[in-house]
Amino acid sequence: MEDELSITTLIATAGFAAGLIFGATANKTNFCTMGAVSDMVFMGESNRFRAWMLAIAVAILGSQALQVAGQVELSESIYLSSNLGWLGAIVGGLLFGFGMTMAGGCGNKTLVRIGGGNLKSIVVFMVMGIFAYMTLRGLIGLARLELEKTNINLAETSKLETSSMVEMVARLMNAETESIRLAMALIIGGAMLVYIFKSAEFRASPPDMAAGIIIGLLVPAGWWITGVLGYDDFEPTQLASFTFISPTAETIQYLMTFTGSTINFGIATVGGVIAGSFLMAVSSKTFYIEAFTERSDMIRHLIGAAIMGVGGVLALGCTIGQGITGMSTLSFGSLIALLSILFGAVWGLRALEEDSVLGGLKAVFSRAD
C-alpha cells in the first residue's frame, strides 16, 4: 500500500511540475490554438499556428521515439483503441471547436487565463467541467452511449489491432508495423517541420519557436511519467499525457471529494498549469483581474463552456488532448478529431464575425423595458 501511495504521489508531483512548465510557457508566449486559428482567419498571420504545428511535430517525433526505444507502448493509450469512434470525433470536434470560440479559448487557454487573473475563465472552467462530467458519467452520457453505437470495430472489419495510421500503412505495404514506425514518424514530422520553418517570419520569432518546442516535448514527457515512472507490476498507471477536458471534470470532483478520491496525472497537470501561469503572470507583472462586463458576454461564455465540455468528451480530447497528444500517437481518430476541431473553430469565428451568435443571444435573453 505504501509503495502504491508513493507511486501515485510521484506521478502527481511529476505531473504538477510538467504542468508548471506548460502553464508558464503558454502564458509567456501566448500559446493558444483558438488564437492561432483566429490569426490565420482574420489577419492572415501564421506564427502562432506554426507554433502549434511545431508542438505537434515535436510531440510526434518524441513520442514515436519512446515507442521505438521500447520505453512506452502507445497502443495502451485511449487514442489507439481498435474501436474507432469516428462519429464522436466529428461531432465532438465540431462542438469543441465552435464552443472554444464562444468561450474565448480552449481548455488549455482557460487554465492559463485563470492563472493570469481572469475571473471569466473560472466560470468557464466550472461549467466546462460539469458538462464534461455529465457527458462522462451523467445525464448526457446516455447520448454519448448512443453515439458510440456507430463506432467501427477495426479488429472485426479490418483485422487491425489499433487505429494507428502506422499500422494501416503497414497493412497496405504488407509490412510489419514496427519496421516502418520510425520512417513514418520522420516523414510526417519532417514534412511538418519543412512547412513550419519555411516562414522567415516564424524563424524570426523565438517566443513562438520556444513555445512549440517546449510544449511539444512535454507530451512525450507525459508518456514517460505515466508509462515509465508510474510503472507498477500489480497496478500499472493508465498511460496518459496532456489533455484538459476530462481532467477538468475530475479536478472538480477531486476538490469536492478529496478524502475519498485519488489524485492522478491529469488532475495534477491541471493544477500545475494554473500555478505555472500564475507564477509567470506575477513575475512578468501581467497579472490582472478581469470579469464580465456585460450580460451577453457572460451568456456567450457559459454556452461556449457547456459546448466545450460535451464536445471534448465526445471527441476524446481537446486541441491539446487530441490535437497534440493524440496526434503524437499517429492515431487516425485523432486526425479526424483535429480536423473537426479546426473546422468548428473557423465556423465559430465566422459566426462571431457576422454577429449571428451574439445577435441571437441578445434577442433570446433581452428583457422588455
- How confident is the model at residue 138, as a pLDDT? 94
Rounded to whole angstroms, the Cα distance separating 261 from 78 reads 22
- How confident is the model at residue 353, as a pLDDT? 82
**What contacts 6, CB < 8 A, 6 or more positions away?**
none
User: Minimal CA–CA distance to 19: which of 285, 214, 288, 261?
Assistant: 214
Beta pairing partners, 164: 331
Strands (DSSP E) contained in the chain are 83-84, 152-153
- How confident is the model at residue 358, as a pLDDT? 52
The residue behind cell 478581469 is 290
Contact 340, 92 (CB under 8 A): yes
Contact 24, 215 (CB under 8 A): no
One-letter amino acid of 167: E
pLDDT digits (tens, 9 = 90+) for 38-96: 999 999 999 999 999 999 999 999 999 999 999 999 999 999 999 999 999 999 999 99
User: Minimal CA–CA distance to 80: which of 328, 340, 339?
Assistant: 328
* 3-state SS track over 236-288: CCCCCCCCCCHHHHHHHHHHHCHHHCCCCHHHHHHHHHHHHHHHHHHHCCCCC
Beta pairing partners, 342: none
pLDDT digits (tens, 9 = 90+) for 109-151: 999 999 999 999 999 999 999 999 999 999 999 999 999 999 9
pLDDT digits (tens, 9 = 90+) for 245-273: 999 999 999 999 887 788 999 999 999 99
User: Minimal CA–CA distance to 27: which of 248, 214, 239?
Assistant: 214
